[in-house]
Structure 1
Amino acid sequence: MRVIPKEFNNYNIRYIVRSAIEKDAKKLADVRLQIDGETENLDREKGEAYIDETGFKKIIKNDTESINNLFLVAEVDERIVGFSRCEGNRLKRTSHKVEFGICVLKEFRGYGIGKNLLKESVHWADSNGIKKITLNVIETNNKAIMLYKKYGFEVEGILKKDKILSDGKYYNTILMGRFNG
């Protein structure tokens, strides 16, 4: 599904949040690879589960055609600096919910980009009959957890010792959900 682009001005930076389009595919492959190397908050290390330009074109096409999917990008001066996805399915018993994921380049964190990608995704879900948004977040990502709670997400469960990070220690994954209805 697509949304109307929105412009934001935060902390002297101007950016647009809009639906991903096919011509974004190459940039998205590069941005995802870079972000995976900048943080341990995501599931992947740099280069793991790599999605190339062709893969992103397929995802964008599917998300555009599906009423239960939304793929947003954040763009600064025509440069993609972050993105988010809501992915649902057509199974009758779970068609009311989508899974949310988000990532922003390190140099563009702190400008409200993640917050606005989340806000626009929540607005889209609420406006399109999506009753539940779920997400996973590592227990050490306190900023994200606080942001999610601010937008109505609650802790639904914990996957204990779910991830091993570069320090060799195991960390919990927190399962969060927001129900509208």
Structure 2
Amino acid sequence: MLIDKKEFEGNGIHYFVRLAKVIDAQELSELRVQIDGETENLDREKGEGFIDASGFEKLIKSDTENNTNLFLVAEVNDRIVGFSRCEGNQLKRFSHKIEFGVCVLKELWGHGIGKNLLKESISWADTNNIKKITLNVLETNDKAIKLYQKLGFEIEGILKKDKILSDGEYYNTIIMGRFKE
């Protein structure tokens, strides 16, 4: 599915949001490992669930060919600094919805990159007759939860004691969704 490359500015940083390309695969592989090591807000620890360049190439090709998937990247000075994916389901009973995920380098938090990746994904979903977007967020990620609510997402459920973090404590995962009538 095609979307146009868009330029944004946030807190003095200029960046672009565009579709992922096969040529991005190696950089995405390295970026994902780095981001996983910078925060406990994501599901993986650094190096877990590793996807190499060829794995990202396959993912990007598949997402490009599938009209219910979207893979976006954010670039600052020709360097990928974040990405998001929307993944649909081919089963008819779930064909109306997608699951959204996003990650951004910690050094660039607060510049609106994650927000604009999500806004572009919402716009794409709304244009392509996708009725529901779902996502999961760690209960301690207050900034993300507030952003999601501001963009029309509601809390749909809680997975209790769903993750164990480095402090040895268990944390809940918040399930959120946005439904377009």
User: TM-score range, shorter-chain basis?
Assistant: over 0.9
What stretches of structure 1 move > 2 A for 4+ residues in a row? none
Q: Does the alignment pair 1:85 with 2:85?
A: yes
| Separation in structure 2 between the aligned mates of residue 13 and residue 171 of structure 1, nearest angstrom | 33
Percent same amino acid among aligned pairs? 71
Cα deviation for residue 41 of structure 1 reads 0.3
Q: Which amino acid aligns with 1:104?
A: V
CA distance in 1, matches of 2:58, 2:75: 21
**CA distance, structure 1, for counterparts of residue 109 and residue 167 of structure 2:** 23
Partner of 1:25: 25
Partner of 1:119: 119
5+ residue gaps, structure 1: none
Amino acid in structure 2 at the alignment position of 1:135: L
Within-5 A mapping of 1:101-140: 101-140=101-140
List per-residue Cα deviations over 1:46-68 (Å, max 9, x = no partner). Answer: 00000000000000000000000
Superposed CA deviations along residues 158-178 of structure 1, whole A, max 9, x for unmatched, are: 000000000000000000000
Q: Distance in 2 between matches of 1:97 and 1:22?
A: 25
Q: 1:93-121 CA deviation, whole Å, 9 max, x = no partner?
A: 10000000000000111100011001000
TM-score calculated relative to the size of structure 2: 0.99
Partners of 1:158 and 1:50 in 2: CA distance = 27
Q: Matched residues in 2 for 1:140 and 1:11: separation?
A: 24
Which residue is 1:164 aligned to? 164
Between Structure 1 and Structure 2, how many residues are aligned?
181
In structure 1, what is the equivalent of residue 5 of structure 2?
5
Aligned to 1:16: 16
Q: Give the corresponding residue for 2:143.
A: 143
TM-score (normalised: structure 1): 0.99
The separation in 1 between residues aligned to 2:116 and 2:83, in whole angstroms, is 10
Distance in 2, Cα, partners of 1:103 & 1:9: 18
Q: In the aligned structure 2, how far is the partner of 1:102 from the partner of 1:142?
A: 15
Shift of 1:180: 0.3
State how far apart, in whole Å, the 2-side matches of 1:3 and 1:26 are. Answer: 22
Deviations along 1:23-42, whole A, 9 cap, x unmatched? 00000001000000000000
Partners of 2:2 and 2:148 lie apart in 1 by 23
Q: Secondary structure at the match of 1:29?
A: helix
Q: Give the Cα–Cα distance (whole angstroms) in 1 for the partners of residues 138 and 90 of structure 2.
A: 28
Superposition deviation, residue 2 in structure 1: 2.4
Per-residue deviation, 1:11: 1.4
Q: Can you give the 5+ residue segments of structure 2 that lack an aligned partner in the other structure?
A: none
2:55 is the counterpart of 1:55: yes
The one-letter amino acid of 2:137's match is V
